[in-house]
A = this chain, B = another copy of it.
Amino acid sequence: MKLNDSCKYCEVAQLCLPLSVNALPHSAFDEIVSRRIEMEKGSTVFNLGNTFTSFYAVKHGIFKIFIITEDGREQIESFYYPGEFIGFDAVDSGYYRGDLQALTDSCVCEIPYASFIELCNSVPSLQEHLIKLMSQRIGQNHCLRLNTKSIEKIASFLINFTSRMDRFKPNQFNYHFPMSRAEIGDHLGLTAETVTRTFTILRNKQIIECSGKTLTIHNLRALQKLSFVV
Q: Using CB atoms and an 8 Å cutoff, list the residues of chain A in contact with chain B.
A: 67, 69, 75, 77-78, 88-93, 97, 117, 120-121, 124, 127-128, 130-139, 141-142, 144-146, 148, 189, 228-229
Contacts and interface: CB of A to CB of B under 8 A. Distances in A.
A220 B177 CA distance: 42
Contacts of A121: 124, 127
Contact of A130 (B131, B137, B141, B142): B131
Q: Which of A67, A88, A146 has the most CB of B within 10 A?
A: A146
A115 to B, nearest CB: 14
Contacts of A135: 88-93, 134
A131 B87 CA distance: 12
Contacts of A141: 138, 141-142, 145
Given A88-B135, A89-B135, A135-B91, A145 B142 contact: no
Contacts of A229: 67, 97
B88 A138 contact: yes
Given A77-B146, A132-B91, A228-B75, A138 B137 contact: yes
Nearest to A139: B89
B78 A148 contact: no
Contacts of A142: 77-78, 89, 97, 141
Contact of A131 (B69, B91, B136, B228): B91
Contact of A127 (B97, B120, B136): B120
Contacts of A90: 135, 139
A144 B228 CA distance: 19
